[in-house]
Amino acid sequence: MNPQDHQYDDIIGLEHPTSTRHPRMPRADRAAQFAPFAALTGYGDVIAETARREQGKWEEKPEFWDDGWFHED
């Protein structure tokens, strides 16, 4: 038997420690710590607007596809 299999036997049954100084954080606040973070506010809107405005422009310029940069395999 591996000695590491029992390295926490002395603390495994102990009660979870509770701080007397700091009250428990509400569950909603704890969850907010892991919520998605948008570093650039509004960036998604700018991308969506640019995509909407540019929609179809590539198809109108066949020379873009024929200039040797884009290859369909």
| pTM of this structure | 0.32
Do the domain assignments include residue 50? yes
Mean per-residue pLDDT of the chain:
80
Q: Is the pLDDT assigned to residue 1 strictly greater than 70?
A: no
- Reported as type and span, the H/E element at residue 30 is helix 27-32
pLDDT tier at 66 (50, 70, 90 boundaries)?
Answer: low
Q: What is the pLDDT of residues 14-48, one digit of tens each?
A: 998 999 999 998 988 888 888 777 778 888 899 99
- Reported as type and span, the H/E element at residue 27 is helix 27-32
Do the domain assignments include residue 12? no
Domain containing 68: what range? 39-73
pLDDT tier at 61 (50, 70, 90 boundaries)?
Answer: low
What are the DSSP calls for 16-67, one per residue? Answer: PP--SSSPPPPHHHHHHTTS---SSTTHHHHHHHHHHHHTTTTTT-HHHHTS
Do the domain assignments include residue 17? no
Number of domains, the chain: 1
